[in-house]
Each structure stands twice: as C-alpha cells, then as structure tokens.
Chains A and B, each alone.
Chain A
Amino acid sequence: MSEALLRLVRHGQEQGCRPYQRYLLDRGQWAALIAAIGEDEAVALLGLWADPAQVHAALMLGETILIASCTVPEGRFAAFSPVQPGAVRFERMIRDLWGHVAEGGIDQRPWLDHGRWPLTGPLAAQPAPNAMPPPQPVFLPVEGQGVHQIPVGPVHAGVIEPGHFRFHVQGEAVVRLEARLGYLHKGHIGLMLGKPALVAARFAARLSGDSTVAHSWAFAQGVEAALGLEPSPRALALRALMAELERLHNHLNDWGFLCNDAAFAWLHARAGALREAVLRAAATAFGHRLMMDRILPGGVTDDLTPQGAAAILAALDAVEAELPQLDAVYDSHASLADRMIGTGVIAPSLVRRFAAGGVVGRASGRAFDARHRPGYAPYATLEPRVSTAGDVDARARLRMTEMGDSIRLARGLMAALPPGELALPLPQRAGEGLGLVEGFRGECLHWVALDDGGLLRAAFPRDPSWLHWPLLEAAMEGNILADFPLINKSVNASYSGVDL
C-alpha cells in the first residue's frame, strides 16, 4: 500500500527540497493522497503547515520522508484531519496564521489566534486588520450525569509555561481534558522571514528554550541542506556533544520533577544537584548554561577547550556514579510505584496514529529516534530504547535509561573529536531544505526556504510537542484529577514550542 502512496506523491512536480524531496500536487492528487492515507496506518504525518500560496505536509512512509504540497486557490485546501487526527491543530494553526481554510476539517475553531492581535492572518499575503473584540473560547461539549467543569490556567500554581486546561470531571475521574494553548504566541515565523539565516537562527534557538540546541541544530541542518553545505566533522561532533548534554540535563530535570510530583522530594533534590553540575560544565565549556546560540548554520561558535572538556567529563562522572543509586531508590519505594505505575497510560495505537516521537512515543512502543532513522552525522549506530507499558513509570524509566546512553555518547564524542573548521561561510543563494534532529522531547523538524539573496522566504519550525499535546488529553481520560501534574510532567510537552 505504501508503495502506491509513494508513487502517487511522486507524480507531483519536484520542488527541489533537500535532502527530502517536496512534490507539488494538484488538487486531484492531493485529494487522492488523503484518501490513500485514510487506508494506510503506516503513514506518519510529521507536520502540516503553509505559506501564502501553498500548504505542505511532511510525511514519513516506512523509511521514506517527503513533503507533499498543494496550492490553495481561494484560500482553501482539502483537510487531512478526517483521516489523520494529528492534523487537527495544524489545520487550526494554518487558518489562524495564513488564513487558509481546511475544507472538511473536523475542527474549525481558532487555535493560536485568541482575537487579540491587531490583524488576522498575520502571515497571509494580505493580512486584514482586526477590530473585533476577543471572542469567548468554545470547548468541546461533554454530556452525562454529574459532569462538571474545572478551568485551570493560563497562569498555573508552579513555575511553568501558561496554558489553559479545561477538565470535565465526574467525581474524581477526568472524563475529558481539553488544552487551549496559544498564550505564548510570539509571531516566531513572521520574525524569521526576510532575515539572513544567521539572524533567523536566533529565533530557532528561542522556539523552546529547553531544546535550544536541538532546534538550532535542526534549523542549521535545514539551511545547510538548502545550500548544499556540509559542516566539518568537528562541528558536527561538537553539535552532538551539546545535544547529548542537553538531553541529559533535561532528562534529569524531568525525572526529578516526576519524583517531586509524586511527593518524593529527595530524588528531586539529587537530580537537581546533578543537573546543575551538567549546566555549569556546559557554561565552562561553551560559555552558556543552556548552550544557546552556540550552533549556527555553517557550524558552531565555540571549540572545546581542554578546560571545558575536563569540566564536562567531571560532570558526566558525577552523574554516572549516582544514577544507579537514584534508580535503586526509585525502584524500592512502593509510594512511588503506587503513583507511577498504571497512571496516564497512552495506548501504542494512539502513539502510532499521532506519530508521537521522543520518550512519549518510545515508552508506548514506537521505536522512532531520528538519530537512528533517518539518522544523521555524527551518530553511527544507535538503537532506539523502547518500552511498551505506556504509563508514567515507563516514561520515567526510559528517561533514566537514555541518560546513561547520553553519557556514553558524550564521552565517545569527546574521546575522538575529529579535526575540522568550526564554521563555514554561507554561500548566498536560493534553496530549500528540511532538518530533522532528535531533541530530548523528540524530533525537531525545521523546513527552510531561502531566496536568491540568502534570506528566509518561508520557514516552519515544528516542535515535537505538536504530536504530544493531543496524547496528553488521551492519557488523562479516566485518571483522577490529582494525577494531572504527574501525567503532564511525564509527557512534558512544550508550550512555547507549539505556540510559535
């Protein structure tokens, strides 16, 4: 079946995107593609976005990644959401930003546009002024005896990002959770357009601060693919080193906070102390605790000094020495097991349908890790870690396992740093590229199109959280309200990353 689908897409006109081709389909072919996807469970929708003239769908069919596009005459295109539920929020976002309507889309409510911008369709060819008062948000209805609503947010009790959660509960049990996001919409894409790649990189680095390395790398990968530029082996190795440090400090953070949300403060305190050691080592080595703006299209900004390498090795030693002890404590306390095991289960079938990557996908049996497939330099052989339980416990344990892997990878990279230029100059020419880099949450996807002057003509940064947020809603169903912080943390989707 997938073969037929691939043939279908490849009938379109090639648009020259690298390394994954983009095909422009006519409306008939686009409709046929949607029909074919409806009958093929193996197709993963990685992202759906637009520009003023076209909509674009990034698809993964088995080992193949490609982009299918279609023009939008009169601002309309056939919706993906009837066959791919993961498309719903993308379609709502496309309407809010570019004004294109998904015909037949199963949810036409606004998403990012809360009615508070001075204009509508800010990225459309001709945005319209907005003079309407902000509308009241509409939530999906729930019927049943004794069902009541609990509104939470956008301002939460802890130090976290803003978002509104509408719970429908029956007694203690959550019947439905619906998230309303968009509060952090900063107009990322609009700010990137028309800028040179090196300037736009600052926005990629600030899409989601905790994934600054992964997003910077994915953006750089997209730009380099567009320009046919190959960074030096040294630059790639240094990028991977930063990416593994980022994975390590975030996994430590998430794992610690998960234990904290189950009221086990000591594990949180220890994980926090270890994470701080990693951040300080990163600051010593790369001059910034989160390693922000250290990866630019063409290469990296800093080389690894002997002092930096020593700091990183010392931090890795400290973390590696303590992880087994923390794991043993986690394992031997029934109070933790009681909260973690069987809580917030995400079914493998849902993870497949929504193409969820990262820990969320792998903890529910989807063996996808962009470092392994499609794979990119300098990662050679890497088998994704997979678990099948799909509960909070599985996601916590997977993070623990992956921390060990990151430490080993980081050591390996430092032991054999290849020679090479830190950064290559960017040629000034047109091109189109797609970058895909595995961050701590999952794969970060950046599509970039440059014009003849080397300025960004179009772009879309897709955080992995786009594919996680709907699953958080599914994970809450039937769980008790008091477990929401725990389940939310176990998924840890980015708000800023999807609010754009």
Chain B
Amino acid sequence: MRGWRRLLWPRLAQGLVSPPLTDAPPVPPEELVQALVARLEAASQARLGRSLAIRQVDAGSCNGCELEINAMQSVIYDLERFGLRFVASPRHADVLLVTGPLTRNMREALLHTAECMPEPKWVVAAGDCAVDGGVFKDSYAVEGGIDAVLPVDLLIPGCPPTPTQLLEGMLALLEAQRVG
C-alpha cells in the first residue's frame, strides 16, 4: 500500500467523487402510514414539520435492540437525512423510542422520562419485548410491554428489529404528519 493511502485527508477527498455509502431509503408501508395519520393531531404538523427528535430509553432490553438502533445512525442508514435525530434529553424530544420488556426496576425512570417530554409526543415500542414483554413476559421482574404504563402509538416488532424495519417505522411517523 502506498503511504498516502494511509493518511486521512486523501481518503476524505476520495469521498467527494465516490458514490455515497448510504442505502436508498426504505418506503414505509402505506397502511402503517394511514393508521398513524388517524392518530396524529392537526396541530402537531405545524409544530413539527418534517423533523422528529427522538429520545431512546432502554426499559429492560438485552441490548440487541440498542445495537440495531445504533446501526440505524451509521452512514449506511444515515437517519439524519430524513430529519430524524436522537437527542440527549427528553425535554428536547418528540418521540420516545422504548426497547425491552418493561422491568419493574425501570418503570419509574421510564415514566419520569415520558413526563419530561413536551406535548405533542409519541411513544414507539421497538422490539418483541417492548411490544408485549416477549419471552420475558411471565417474569416476576417484568411488567409486560411498554403499553403496560404508557399509551403506545407505534409498535415495531422484531428480535431485534433490523435497522431497516426501525427506519420504516420512524419514516411512517414522518409521513403520517405530512399526509395527515
């Protein structure tokens, strides 16, 4: 390998002429969009436009869902091109993205996080565990799915859901605002 190939700047310059690494965007299923449209209030469109700030909370997951959510932020999926971004505080968030079966030990923290979010807000339950408790639903330590304590607007099943499935769900939320 030639020396210059090992430097950072030539590699960055290459990026100007090479095609992007990012995948083409997935198209969210129409029925999902329509279902969400019905749930969104007209007021929310004016306030949000085509942008959503997401706060993620792991309420009991095995961390498999977190791996795929992080992958969704990589250059391959490039979440931010859609106006979707993760924020550090629930006070800045429109969407609460929750993973895991809801453990009894995380219940209070999840509820506090949800309370900190301004209205209008949406709750997305991602992963089989978040949908209904998954394989953990019969445990003494688990409350069940996220809807045991919070009204859920969108379910994204999968163990874990792939970044594409997660992205489809988030795009459906965006589409629903535009259409609705």
Are A and B physically bound partners?
A: yes
* Residues of chain A whose beta carbon lies under 8 Å from any beta carbon of chain B: 114, 116-119, 122, 154-155, 157-162, 182-187, 190-191, 202-203, 206-210, 212, 253, 266, 269, 272-273, 275-276, 279, 283, 289-290, 292, 324-325, 328-329, 332-333, 494-496
Alpha-carbon gap, A496 to B60, bound state (A): 8
* Distance (whole angstroms) from the CB of A462 to the closest CB of chain B: 16
Majority secondary structure of chain A interface residues (helix, strand, loop or mixed):
loop
Alpha-carbon gap, A191 to B142, bound state (A): 11
* Distance (whole angstroms) from the CB of A472 to the closest CB of chain B: 16
The answer to whether A116 and B74 have CB atoms under 8 Å apart is no
Query: Which of B88, B103, B140, B159 meets A157, CB within 8 Å?
Result: B88
* Distance (whole angstroms) from the CB of B163 to the closest CB of chain A: 8
Alpha-carbon gap, A231 to B54, bound state (A): 46
Given A117-B141, A184-B106, A325 and B63 contact (CB-CB distance below 8 Å): no
Alpha-carbon gap, A328 to B6, bound state (A): 6
Alpha-carbon gap, A212 to B70, bound state (A): 17
B154 at the binding interface (Cβ < 8 Å): no
The answer to whether A159 and B21 have CB atoms under 8 Å apart is no
Please indicate the chain A residues that have their CB under 8 angstroms from the CB of B105 in the complex.
114, 116, 182-185
B150 at the binding interface (Cβ < 8 Å): no
Please indicate the chain A residues that have their CB under 8 angstroms from the CB of B86 in the complex.
158-159
The answer to whether A266 and B66 have CB atoms under 8 Å apart is no
Segment from B24-32, B41-49, B131-139, B168-176 that makes contact with A: B131-139
The answer to whether B67 and A496 have CB atoms under 8 Å apart is no
Encode B52-83 as 1/0 by CB contact (under 8 A) with A: 00001111111111111111011110000000
The answer to whether A155 and B57 have CB atoms under 8 Å apart is yes
Q: Which 7 A-B pairs have the closest CB atoms?
A: A209-B64, A187-B139, A272-B74, A157-B88, A328-B6, A187-B141, A209-B62
Please indicate the chain A residues that have their CB under 8 angstroms from the CB of B112 in the complex.
155
Please indicate the chain A residues that have their CB under 8 angstroms from the CB of B100 in the complex.
184
The answer to whether B136 and A154 have CB atoms under 8 Å apart is no
Among residues of B, the one whose C-beta sits closest to the C-beta of A277 is: B76
Please indicate the chain A residues that have their CB under 8 angstroms from the CB of B58 in the complex.
159-162, 184
Alpha-carbon gap, A322 to B59, bound state (A): 36
Please indicate the chain B residues that have their CB under 8 angstroms from the CB of A157 in the complex.
88-89
Alpha-carbon gap, A494 to B67, bound state (A): 12
Please indicate the chain A residues that have their CB under 8 angstroms from the CB of B60 in the complex.
183-184, 186
Please indicate the chain B residues that have their CB under 8 angstroms from the CB of A122 in the complex.
140-141
B101 at the binding interface (Cβ < 8 Å): yes
The answer to whether B75 and A266 have CB atoms under 8 Å apart is no
Please indicate the chain B residues that have their CB under 8 angstroms from the CB of A207 in the complex.
62
Among residues of B, the one whose C-beta sits closest to the C-beta of A271 is: B74
B39 at the binding interface (Cβ < 8 Å): no
Given A116-B104, A158-B88, A186-B60, A209 and B141 contact (CB-CB distance below 8 Å): no
The answer to whether B139 and A184 have CB atoms under 8 Å apart is no
Query: Which of A154, A158, A203, A208 meets B63, CB within 8 Å?
Result: A208
* Distance (whole angstroms) from the CB of B72 to the closest CB of chain A: 9
B178 at the binding interface (Cβ < 8 Å): no
Given A155-B57, A162-B109, A273 and B62 contact (CB-CB distance below 8 Å): no
Give 17 pairs: A residue, B residue, CB < 8 Å, sorted on A: A116-B105, A154-B109, A155-B112, A158-B88, A184-B58, A187-B136, A187-B139, A190-B141, A191-B139, A206-B62, A207-B62, A208-B62, A209-B62, A279-B71, A289-B68, A332-B8, A496-B63
The answer to whether B141 and A273 have CB atoms under 8 Å apart is no
Give the number of chain B interface residues (Cβ < 8 Å).
Answer: 54
Please indicate the chain B residues that have their CB under 8 angstroms from the CB of A290 in the complex.
64, 67, 160
Alpha-carbon gap, A289 to B76, bound state (A): 15
The answer to whether B138 and A191 have CB atoms under 8 Å apart is yes
Alpha-carbon gap, A414 to B82, bound state (A): 40
The answer to whether B140 and A292 have CB atoms under 8 Å apart is no
The answer to whether A292 and B76 have CB atoms under 8 Å apart is no
Alpha-carbon gap, A187 to B88, bound state (A): 29
Alpha-carbon gap, A381 to B93, bound state (A): 52
Alpha-carbon gap, A325 to B2, bound state (A): 11
Alpha-carbon gap, A332 to B89, bound state (A): 35
The answer to whether B162 and A289 have CB atoms under 8 Å apart is yes
Query: Which of A209, A283, A328 meets B67, CB within 8 Å?
Result: A209
The answer to whether A184 and B61 have CB atoms under 8 Å apart is yes
The answer to whether B106 and A333 have CB atoms under 8 Å apart is no
Please indicate the chain B residues that have their CB under 8 angstroms from the CB of A210 in the complex.
63-64, 67
B51 at the binding interface (Cβ < 8 Å): no
Query: Which of B1, B12, B103, B140 meets A183, CB within 8 Å?
Result: B103
Given A184-B58, A273-B75, A191 and B63 contact (CB-CB distance below 8 Å): no
Please indicate the chain A residues that have their CB under 8 angstroms from the CB of B70 in the complex.
159, 253
Among residues of B, the one whose C-beta sits closest to the C-beta of A327 is: B6
Alpha-carbon gap, A162 to B68, bound state (A): 17
Other A-B pairs, 18, CB within 8 Å; known A184-B60, A272-B75: A116-B108, A159-B69, A159-B73, A161-B61, A183-B105, A185-B103, A186-B142, A206-B62, A206-B136, A208-B62, A209-B61, A209-B64, A209-B65, A209-B67, A210-B67, A325-B1, A325-B6, A328-B7
Alpha-carbon gap, A328 to B5, bound state (A): 10
Q: Which of B58, B61, B76, B88 has the most CB of A within 10 A?
A: B58
Please indicate the chain B residues that have their CB under 8 angstroms from the CB of A329 in the complex.
6-8, 11
Q: Which of B1, B70, B138, B141 has the most CB of A within 10 A?
A: B141
The answer to whether B8 and A333 have CB atoms under 8 Å apart is yes
Alpha-carbon gap, A292 to B63, bound state (A): 12
